[in-house]
Structure 1
Amino acid sequence: MQETILDPDLPIVDPHHHLWDNRTYAAPEVDAHPFMTAIKPARRYLLDELRGDTESGHNIVATVFVECGAYYKGGGSPDLKPVGETEFVNGVAAMSASGMYGPFRACAGIVSKADLLLGDAVKPVLEAHIRAGGGRFKGIRNSASFDDDKDVLGPLNRVEAGLYRDATFRRGFRHLGEMGLSFDAWLLEPQLPDVIDLARAFPDTTLVLDHVGTPLGRGVYTGKLPERFDIWRDNIRELAKSPKVVVKLGGLAMAFCNFPSFLAEPRAPSEQLAMEWGPYIETCIEAFGPDRCMFESNFPVDMGSCSYATLWNAFKHIARGASATEKAALFSGTATKVYSLDLT
């Protein structure tokens, strides 16, 4: 049963969601990973599904798409294949902008993929994204998520350790700031020193930390969220010293964190989610300030713990003591500013 929507008129810009269609994984052992179990109900998540979530009671005015490997080009240069995702998402954004799918603006910002390990050769890829994005392309994400325990990430074991410290990667990274593009960073809590070092090396580039740095409670980290909290908090406070870094408040419903609410039956209410996630989100807001924090849905991935409506209720519980100005920043203002969204 859906909860009563809290503060239903509060404008929300959801700065982190995905779109995909019928993504399949051949290996049964991969398909059985808790990450895959969580997203099985959303093997299709396109504009209609997103619209259904955004119309579940909260005032979602716009969203930002973040790369997930959907609709890459089927031919041509391998380096340019991710540009197909930008082309696809810009088409979805144009559909939404027509008004036929309601007043919200889906994918008003697009964060895509370009392999920064190309070094200087990544520049033409970024230029191709810009051309394909129709003014909506805002930056890229390269995941650096890695752990020696392969059970932690399961199907998302894709890179080796130390990506953000790689010299060739950083040659590619420097083009982002020069071109006015942002960088979304996804990595795991033990890797936070890598993104701290990256932010210090490029102090003029906007860097967005996804999912509060992804605290871990799976694999060798099972049961260790409490004992690793202080390590995570110290790194968050250190990262916050870099003024061009902002943080997305969410992603805590994922399998990797493994809070008690993950895949719970019956589904956890928003009050429980707020209790579990609150210490991490409140620490980030304290360290970065509301003007450098933005609540995110991370849907459909986070459906492993809750519905879209319940997730935003949980965030509103956490932010209940904030002022109207602070809420405006956390729920819409920071995302609009960081991604330079045109919501007219």
Structure 2
Amino acid sequence: MTDDFEFVDAHVHYWQPSVNDWYPALRARPIYRDILPGDFPPSAGHVHVSAVSSPQSVLDEARWLDRLRRETGFPSAVIGTIDPAASFDVIEKNLLAQARSPAFRGVRVFAGLDPAADTALKLFRLLGENDWIFEIITRPAGIASYLPAVDASPGTTFVLEHAGWPEGEEPEQFRRWREAVAPLAAFGNVHCKISGFGMALGTTDPDRLRPWVEACLELFGVDRCFFGSNFPVDSVAGTYADLIGAYREITASLGGEDRHKLFAANARHRYRLPA
């Protein structure tokens, strides 16, 4: 970044398919090429979020990331994953194995986890007991299914990834998205990762992103929001500089302290990164 701007990128993906083919769901996409810390602009921190789509590779990726961190200093923190189809004993074992890395901060589950199931409730309880995060990734229609589980897990920190992944820019789509997110935002242990709009809306135009970002800030408040690039995935809509520039333009009217919270301090606190 330029000038005195500090940015902790709360959502990046590293992968190296030339060596480790752990992401079969991504093989047909143009973004499926080696992406490593040096491919990003200088940053105050990176939170890597696992996109592994072969459950047997989860621990392999965790070990690879830890080696990468020792060699390069990145990622600063890791959100791993688990296989929701496994028994809870196996899930717990895999979580503890991932937690051997000092960068481990929690998990997300891309698909297959029923938040009302006993496995999910046990998982959320275990995460809360260890101060680990659960990152929710779902479309607006799926958000309501998480409300009872979040209500039953007051000691667990939840992060809504990609701001609830809107389905389009039409006024009715915006209304449905906002109405879905609002009750989740009412829980004080839920935070909002403002990310993924390039992927979801296909743009980095600040005028088009502004209503969504401002709605996130209104619903969650500045203290429970932070930005992530979702790169390389959001590169379908523009460059890294385009996206971060849009977020900077959208927040230009905020005070310096609030902007610093959104771009650095909140993510640093939430993912326990050194100052």
Scaled by the length of structure 2, the TM-score of the pair is 0.90
1:314 to partner: Cα distance: 0.5
The alignment of Structure 1 onto Structure 2 pairs a total of residues equal to 270
The Cα offsets for residues 15-70 of structure 1, whole Å up to 9 and x where unpaired, read as 1100112359889xx83xxxx2xxx1551112332xxx314xxxx21111110118
Written as runs of structure 1 = structure 2, the 5 A alignment for 1:80-159 is: 81-97=57-73, 106-117=74-85, 118-131=87-100, 133=101, 135-144=102-111, 159=112
For the 8 Å contact 1:248–1:294, the answer to whether it is kept is yes
Q: Whole-Å Cα distance in 1 between the matches of residues 138 and 6 of structure 2?
A: 29
**What residue number does 2:41 align with?**
54
SS in 1 for 2:197: coil
Alignment partner for residue 228 of structure 1, among 165, 170, 173?
173
1:281 to partner: Cα distance: 1.0
Alpha-carbon distance change, 325 to 193 in structure 1, aligned in 2, over 3 angstroms: same
Q: Whole-Å Cα distance in 1 between the matches of residues 260 and 177 of structure 2?
A: 27
1:115 to partner: Cα distance: 2.7
For the 8 Å contact 1:116–1:170, the answer to whether it is kept is no
For the 8 Å contact 1:187–1:214, the answer to whether it is kept is yes
The share of aligned pairs that are identical, in percent, is 28
**What residue number does 1:178 align with?**
129
Alpha-carbon distance change, 166 to 24 in structure 1, aligned in 2, over 3 angstroms: closer
For the 8 Å contact 2:23–2:52, the answer to whether it is kept is no
For the 8 Å contact 1:119–1:169, the answer to whether it is kept is no
Alignment partner for residue 6 of structure 2, among 2, 11, 16?
11
Alpha-carbon distance change, 241 to 26 in structure 1, aligned in 2, over 3 angstroms: closer
1:137 to partner: Cα distance: 0.6
SS in 2 for 1:65: strand
Gaps of 5+ in 2: none
**What residue number does 1:325 align with?**
257
Scaled by the length of structure 1, the TM-score of the pair is 0.73
For the 8 Å contact 2:105–2:271, the answer to whether it is kept is yes
Q: Whole-Å Cα distance in 1 between the matches of residues 176 and 31 of structure 2?
A: 34
For the 8 Å contact 2:127–2:133, the answer to whether it is kept is yes
SS in 2 for 1:45: coil
**What residue number does 1:101 align with?**
none
What amino acid does structure 1 have at the position aligned with 2:160? Answer: L
**What residue number does 1:210 align with?**
161
Q: Whole-Å Cα distance in 2 between the matches of residues 205 and 172 of structure 1?
A: 10
Q: Whole-Å Cα distance in 2 between the matches of residues 303 and 26 of structure 1?
A: 19
What amino acid does structure 1 have at the position aligned with 2:134? Answer: F
1:282 pairs with 2:218: no
1:331 to partner: Cα distance: 0.2
SS in 1 for 2:192: strand
SS in 2 for 1:140: strand
**What residue number does 1:253 align with?**
198
Runs of 4+ that moved beyond 6 A: 24-27
SS in 1 for 2:120: helix
For the 8 Å contact 2:196–2:230, the answer to whether it is kept is yes
Q: Whole-Å Cα distance in 2 between the matches of residues 26 and 94 of structure 1?
A: 27
1:193 pairs with 2:144: yes
